[in-house]
Amino acid sequence: MSHAKVTPQLRLWIIKQIESGQSPDSVLQALVTKGWPEGAAIEVMQRTLRVRVAQIKAAENAERARIENSSGNNPAE
């Protein structure tokens, strides 16, 4: 694996590893073992996970808004 290739597949792999319960350290070690310089591996993990957290927050906010709108809890009414 070349650290120059940050692919959608790599990002998905990182997300799947973390969401399945792997520790960030074990994911980092796996990347380093495959030839990634530690700094580059940390950077791609940080960027990938920041985006994932933002996606999760956006989905939660959308669901919360949907529930509030469907239950008539709109304070503007």
| Residue range 3-40, pLDDT digits in tens | 568 999 999 999 999 999 999 999 999 999 999 999 99
* Residue 70 pLDDT: 87
What count of other Cβ atoms lies within 10 Å of the Cβ of residue 19?
10
- 61 pLDDT exceeds 60? yes
Contact residues for 75 (Cβ-Cβ < 8 A; gap 6+): none
Please, what sign has the CA dihedral across residues 12, 51, 56, 77?
Answer: negative
- 72 pLDDT exceeds 70? no
Question: In which band, very low, low, confident or very high, does the pLDDT at 1 lie, cut at 50, 70 and 90?
Answer: very low
User: Would you say 16 and 49 are in contact if contact means Cβ atoms under 8 Å apart?
Assistant: no
- 2 pLDDT exceeds 60? no
Helices (H) and strands (E) in the chain, counts: 3, 0
